[in-house]
Structure 1
Amino acid sequence: MSALDIVSLLQQDTGLQRSQIEQTVALLESGATVPFIARYRKEATGELDEVQIRLLRRKRVPIRSRLTLLLPLKNQVSGLKKGLISACVQLFAQTGSQRGRVRVGALGEIPDTPLPTSPRWGGEELELSVNQ
């Protein structure tokens, strides 16, 4: 999960160091209890106390749930963007239109705003660009 990284989100929420969070989350996921980690794994967690470890444990579950919901949506948006580019390339090829230039360096450059779905849309001209 590169863009949606649970450790980065926990770091923003708690203000703790990345290494502390990584070690503590690893210990929690291995089944270690909060008192055990606080008492016997202080060197691994960077001297976190029980309150900080409980805070990490409590925040980790909702963040993981959010990521579980967001990842399929991110993949769906990516698929829609690819489909949009493909449809535009086919439309330009069929009509022989030189009006629409298709040139986008990355899918991330396509805005996440509603776009017209009908070729008869009478609004502004849509200009895309695609590198292939």
Structure 2
Amino acid sequence: MRRYEKTRNGIEYTDEIVSSDGAGFVLYPTAEHTPEMVKAAIRELFNDRDVVAMKVADARDWDERYRSEIFAHPWTSPLRWFEINADDYELLRREREKGTPTEEYIKIFVLPFIAETKAANIQKYGNEILER
């Protein structure tokens, strides 16, 4: 699974190269992080790194992070993307906000529905997905 770097005050973040000028950053503060801590983390990154874009994670970013953890989990590694039930963002958000661990999500919503998810994606995208 992806490891997140942390600022000196403990706020996790991701970065991705945006251009030759630098990277885009997404900060993932939690309830324990105050607005002052977030501002300090932003200052730190601007001072220490080549920042082209900066964002504090919103609900969709947290959903995408949760979804990425599902796809990166060892239990889903033998599966193809179209066999993993992780496209229902309402379900993802509900389970993430409830605090459902990734493994629990996979046990409840992915592994029992591999065939159904595959069939739904074949119907949606066609048999070509099987050839990629």
- More helix as a share of residues: 1
- TM-score of the superposed pair, with normalisation by structure 2: 0.30
